[in-house]
Structure 1
Amino acid sequence: MVNNSEKNSNKAWEKVDKAVASEGGTDDAKRRGEAFAHAFSAHLARLMEEPAAYGKFGLANLLELREECLREFQFRDAYIAIKQRENEASLAVLPDLLLELDGMDEEGRLRTLIEGVLAANIFDWGSRACVDLYHKGTIIEIYRMSRKKMQRPWRVDDFDLFKKRILGHGKGEQPPYKRALMFVDNSGADIILGMLPLARELLRLGTEVVLVGNSLPALNDVTANELPGIVAEAAKHCDILRKAAEAGGLLFDAMVDMEDELKDNVTSVPLMAVESGCGGPCIDFRQVSSELAAAAKGSDLIILEGMGRALHTNLNARFKCDALKLAMVKNQRLAEKLFNGNIYDCICRFEALEDQL
């Protein structure tokens, strides 16, 4: 049952401005935007009066309903301009971040990478508290502020367990994992300064990586269709990402000089991207795409990032492989309910398969 429909009714009208702007602000877009707000508000009003009107209906369903209403009125991606702007700003500082990471030892780098994922997860246009932060600085300033505040122990802190699993395999032995499925969350700093550097580290250790993005746009979440372009831009600053993207079919540079190609002919583990089958900020593993189901075969690590995927829908889910759940809690009520904590608390939960048997 949904009990915050009235609050979301007001947000329906707030969403109109972004939706209209994404379509160029034309008169037709304004007309469709107003129609969307009325339609979505009508759904919410009915839920207020009759909570069981649409059957069992939780937050994930409500968020999905909102995106379906936007698509009904031909708004394909209400946050497209914001996502593009934040991607460009994040890519500009990526080279410096990679240089900083490469100057660290393995343990320090892994800790900084997890801190980076948690810090970058602050960029969520679905959170009122986070949207308010956008008025107080640029996304890079906010990211740096968030990173500086990353102090352990976190509210849930299994980093040492994860570190032992990742780095305890020893030099010259098999990679810590064969294949990792990484369920990415937001565009901009979240994917570019958070999850991609973590993916890069797994690739460095010999683990295949599959990035899993939404099939359809939802808020500022990155979609599977956007991932190849983002990876291609990031790969310009990193040979590890470039070689892995080429091996995974995400990148093909027809202009590579043959001599350089032969000189650089070292087999790389692949970096791939697939769509989740979902069109909202949460994920229901009972309903995924066929390509995700195929990619899951042989995977022995799953990384869920963000409140929607790691907390709202899968916090207590148990998988048939190791699982790492990473999120910054951007809602005070949720923080109190789940962890007896506070807004901006960080969650790093590692669940080893052997501990679940």
Structure 2
Amino acid sequence: MESSSAMVPFPLLTTPIESNYRACTIPYRFDSDNPRKATPTEISWINLFLNSVPSFRQRAESDTTVVDAPIKAEKFAERYTAILEDLKKDPQSHGGPPDCILLCRLREQILRELGFKDIFKKVKDDENAKAISLFEEVVRLNDAIEDDGKRMENLIRGILAGNIFDLGSAQLAEVFAKDGMSFLASCQSLVPRPWVIDDLDYFKMKWSRKSWKKAVIFVDNSGADIILGILPFARELLRRGTQVVLAANDLPSINDVTYPELIEILKKLKDENGKLSGADASGLLIANSGNDLPVIDLTSVSQELAYLASDADLVVLEGMGRGIETNLYAKLKCDSVKIGMVKHPEVAQFLGGRLYDCVFKYNESING
């Protein structure tokens, strides 16, 4: 389904009056703070975005689809750095005060104004091809686990391992550029449980007792994340009789998978009978979320996604951007899972955990 220009609230989000919904999880400031002076938290997060500028500039200057890419990449770095420095001096400038949504949006706006549509396209395509070649083996290893609860936990670990492929993190972008990343090795090297937020055992108990009729999964990164993490999990839900809606970004942002890219990935993974590694995939739907950032405000999604999600009884928000930096405490009318890896020290500090710690937050429907 194609996106529509008109955006609407996600229908399973409780009303703002009931939930006091605010998309951003970490408060950068409070009402008592001086509106004209940046808070220490704002300064810390502005610096985090400043630290990512060199990796974005490098990706942009190698974009062969843009004329004079190196010159425009330098303009991007100069303009975005200047805006971030302005926000340090006056948090009310440039549409502030800043939060993670505004800082992401300003970065994307500058890139698009300079003609950069998808500076991570090549690395996404490369990683998708690698992950597609591994998909059958990952599914085979999962299917070989006979115990239902252990198989589910292995699938969750796969989502977390895949989620490490995140080029929005300056540290991970550097590691990836040097050494690449191994999905199976990442599965083995997750930080030991208990994680900083760890409802996995409770979810395992519910997994054995519940049968969800429809699940909506807000997906995150390309490559191992979507193909080796999310899709095996979605396939397991399909095998249990659950209809699955995968909600992907409308426009490119960092290395997040987009709606058109996800359609192409599934075309390559399905066999001539439309099955996904032997599983009936007729209940698998792809939706355009209408989003164009690595974070998401659930008060603004596409009409198509809202329609498809209206009768869902499970929502999964995957990735640090959608499930931790935004929406970690969002209250939904149905069961929900927020899952992702902590890839910024600032997030780890806020949660009281470790860098590369894991979050698995499960909440049952507010209706019981």
TM range (shorter): 0.7 to 0.9
Q: How does 1:67-82 map to 2 (within 5 A)?
A: 67-82=108-123
Instruction: Tell whether 2:336 aligns with 1:294.
Output: no
Map of 1:312 onto structure 2? 325
Map of 1:353 onto structure 2? 365
Give the aligned residue type for 2:140.
Answer: L
Map of 2:128 onto structure 1? 87
Map of 2:201 onto structure 1? 160
Q: Identify if the C-alpha distance between structure 1 residues 182 and 330 changes in structure 2 by more than 3 Å, giving closer, same or farther.
A: same
Q: How does 1:39-118 map to 2 (within 5 A)?
A: 39-53=79-93, 54-105=95-146, 106-118=148-160
Contact 1:118 1:328 in 2 (8 A): yes
RMSD, matched Cα: 2.1
Map of 1:133 onto structure 2? 175
Q: Deviations over 1:270-307 (max 9, x none)?
A: 11111112111100011111111111110110001111
Higher relative contact order (CA 8 A, sep 6+): 2
Instruction: Tell whether 2:212 aligns with 1:177.
Output: yes
SS at match of 1:344: coil
Give the aligned residue type for 1:45.
Answer: E
Looking at structure 1, the residues matched to 267 and 67 of structure 2 have their Cα atoms a distance apart, in angstroms, of 36
Contact 2:238 2:279 in 1 (8 A): no
Contact 2:248 2:287 in 1 (8 A): yes
Deviation, structure 1 residue 242: 7.4
Looking at structure 1, the residues matched to 320 and 48 of structure 2 have their Cα atoms a distance apart, in angstroms, of 19
Looking at structure 2, the residues matched to 130 and 10 of structure 1 have their Cα atoms a distance apart, in angstroms, of 12
Q: How does 1:200-349 map to 2 (within 5 A)?
A: 200-236=235-271, 239-240=275-276, 244-245=280-281, 247=282, 270-338=283-351, 340-349=352-361
Q: Identify if the C-alpha distance between structure 1 residues 327 and 320 changes in structure 2 by more than 3 Å, giving closer, same or farther.
A: same
Which segment is superposed worse, 143-152 or 97-106? 143-152
Unaligned runs of 5+ residues in structure 2 are: 1-27, 29-41
Q: Identify if the C-alpha distance between structure 1 residues 135 and 240 changes in structure 2 by more than 3 Å, giving closer, same or farther.
A: closer
Q: Deviations over 1:125-179 (max 9, x none)?
A: 011232233255332x2x222211234332222112222222224xxxxxx1111
Looking at structure 1, the residues matched to 72 and 280 of structure 2 have their Cα atoms a distance apart, in angstroms, of 43
Map of 2:222 onto structure 1? 187
Moved over 6 A (4+): none
Contact 2:251 2:291 in 1 (8 A): yes
Deviation, structure 1 residue 45: 2.4
* TM-score of the aligned structures, taking structure 1 as reference length: 0.85
Looking at structure 2, the residues matched to 304 and 201 of structure 1 have their Cα atoms a distance apart, in angstroms, of 17
Q: How many residues matched?
A: 323
Contact 2:338 2:362 in 1 (8 A): yes
SS at match of 2:227: helix
* TM-score of the aligned structures, taking structure 2 as reference length: 0.82
Higher helix share: 1
Deviation, structure 1 residue 44: 1.5
Identity of aligned residues (%): 38
Which segment is superposed worse, 186-195 or 151-160? 151-160
